[in-house]
A and B are shown apart, each in its own frame.
Chain A
Amino acid sequence: GQNIDQPTEMTATEGAIVQINCTYQTSGFNGLFWYQQHAGEAPTFLSYNVLDGLEEKGRFSSFLSRSKGYSYLLLKELQMKDSASYLCAVRDSNYQLIWGAGTKLIIKP
């Protein structure tokens, strides 16, 4: 079966750095996405990786290792507004998105 694993919840301090991991086992791989979802709101796109390595976008970076079936989202200089759920999704061989359950990130002052 297809499976996306990510931690259920993480806590970090304002101004710090946090890394959210995602491991996947899917039938084929055509890219990995990270989305942010604030409570009661729709998911919004953060990043996309299809090749191995690090993609940096401002305070957010995303890393991919296809051979290990592994990705992480790195958030720097954490702000209170970063409190949200972070969803990892993999596009499989049928070009459908398979979603993880999400990681709820709690930021403390």
Chain B
Amino acid sequence: IAGITQAPTSQILAAGRRMTLRCTQDMRHNAMYWYRQDLGLGLRLIHYSNTAGTTGKGEVPDGYSVSRANTDDFPLTLASAVPSQTSVYFCASSPTGEVTEAFFGQGTRLTVV
């Protein structure tokens, strides 16, 4: 693994199903973030974690949950997917919570039908 890796790359999901998007980084960064990117809108922060064991809500947290059991992993869970959660999801990390340069994963394209 080099950098930050997301899985899956893409997914088609039935509405109402539960889904976890995985994110792993090997840079030992303290801070990690989940964004969604929709056409015509800027990246919107869903949840963040400034250090292992802590998480916080971003701009659009409803319908999503996260955990940060260790430094490397930051999974994003959709408890019961809805079509409005169709989006491209990016995981990112930065050395500290005081955001310096953020490094992004390759993204997960999720379609909820």
Judge whether A96 and B45 touch: CB under 8 Å: yes
Of residues B43, B44, B97, which shows the largest number of chain A Cβ atoms within 10 Å of its Cβ? Answer: B43
Q: Contacts A96-B58, A101-B40 known; A45 to B45 CB distance under 8 Å? A: no
Interface membership of A97, Cβ < 8 A: yes
Interface membership of A29, Cβ < 8 A: no
Q: Is the interface of B mostly helix, strand, loop or mixed?
A: loop
- A34-62 with Cβ < 8 A to chain B: 41-45, 48
Interface membership of A70, Cβ < 8 A: no
Judge whether A99 and B43 touch: CB under 8 Å: yes
Chain B: number of interface residues, binned into ranges: 20 to 34
Q: Contacts A42-B106, A101-B40 known; A95 to B101 CB distance under 8 Å? A: no
Bound form: Cα–Cα A41–B107 in Å: 7
**Contact partners of A48 in chain B: CB under 8 A:** 100-101
**Contact partners of A99 in chain B: CB under 8 A:** 35, 42-44
Judge whether B99 and A43 touch: CB under 8 Å: no
Please report the total number of A residues contacting B with Cβ < 8 Å: 21
> Which residue of B is nearest A96, CB measured?
B45
Interface membership of B90, Cβ < 8 A: yes
Q: Contacts A43-B90, A96-B58 known; A102 to B101 CB distance under 8 Å? A: no
Q: How far is the CB of B27 from chain A (nearest CB, A)?
A: 14
Interface membership of B79, Cβ < 8 A: no
> Which residue of A is nearest B39, CB measured?
A101
- A69-107 with Cβ < 8 A to chain B: 87, 89, 91, 95-102
Q: How far is the CB of A51 from chain B (nearest CB, A)?
A: 15
Q: Which 8 A-B pairs have the closest CB atoms?
A: A99-B42, A42-B104, A99-B43, A45-B101, A101-B42, A95-B98, A100-B42, A43-B104
